Amino acid sequence: MLQKHAQHLCWRAGFGESLSAIKETEKQSAKQVFRKMLKDSEVYVPIAVVEPTDIAGDLRKLRMDKKENGGEGVERSKLKELQKERREEQARLNTTWLEVMSTEKGMLREKMAFFWHGHLVARSINASFSQSYVNTLRKYALGKFGDLLLAVSKEPAMLQFLNNRQNRKRSPNENFARELMELFTLGRGNYTERDIKEVARAFTGWDFDIKGNFVFRERQHDEEEKTVFGKKGYFKGEDIIQLLLENKQTAIFITTKVYQHFVNENISTHGHQEKIQELATRFYKTNYDIANLLENIFTADWFYAQQNIGSHVKSPVELLVGLKRTLGLKFEDEQTSLFIQRVLGQVLLYPPNVAGWPGGKNWIDSSSLLFRMQIPALIFTDKQPEINAKSDGDINTDYQTRKRSFRADMDWTAYASIFSDKEAKLMTEMSDFLLQVSPAEAVVQGIQDKTKTDSRTETVRKAAMALMMLPEYQLC
| Closest-CA residue to 119 (of 364, 360, 363, 357) | 357
Structure confidence at residue 399 (pLDDT): 56
Q: Quote the pLDDT of residue 413.
A: 95
- Cα–Cα distance measured from residue 112 to residue 107, given in angstroms and rounded to the nearest whole number: 8
Over residues 419-450, the pLDDT tens digits come to: 988 888 999 999 999 999 999 999 999 999 99
DSSP per position, 312-348:
SBPPHHHHHHHHHHHH--EESSTTHHHHHHHHHT--T
- Give exposure, 212-246, as e/b (b: 16+ Cβ within 10 Å): beeeeeeebbbeeebebbeeeeebbbeebbebbbe
Between the alpha carbon of residue 182 and those of residues 176, 250, 375, the distances in Å are 10, 10, 37
Question: Long-range contacts of range 242-247, CB-CB < 8 Å, 24 or more positions apart?
Answer: 242/146, 244/149, 244/180, 244/181, 244/185, 244/186, 245/145, 245/146, 245/149, 245/287, 245/288, 247/185, 247/186, 247/190
Would you say residue 458 has pLDDT above 70? yes
Provide CB contacts within 8 A for 211, sequence distance 6+.
Answer: 52, 53, 54, 55
Dist. CA 141–CA 114, nearest whole Å: 9
| Local confidence band at 457 (pLDDT 50, 70, 90 cut-offs) | very high
Question: Which of the two residues, 151 and 402, has the higher pLDDT score?
Answer: 151
Which helix (DSSP H) or strand (DSSP E) does residue 153 occupy?
helix 145-153
If one compares 103 and 61, the residue with the highest pLDDT of the two is 103
Amino acid at 424: A
| Bridge partner list, 156 | none
Report, as an integer, the average pLDDT of 269-279: 94
Asked if residue 436 lies in contact with residue 311, where contact means CB atoms within 8 angstroms, the answer is no
As a whole number, mean pLDDT of residues 28-52 equals: 96
What is the rounded average pLDDT for all residues in the chain?
Answer: 92
Tell me what pLDDT residue 11 has.
98
User: Does residue 389 carry a pLDDT above 70?
Assistant: no
Domain ranges in the chain are 3-40+247-308, 412-474
Asked whether residue 269 carries a pLDDT value surpassing 90, the answer given is no
124: phi then psi, degrees, rounded to nearest 5: -150, 145
pLDDT bin (cut points 50, 70, 90) of residue 385 is confident
- pLDDT band of residue 302 (cuts 50, 70, 90) is very high
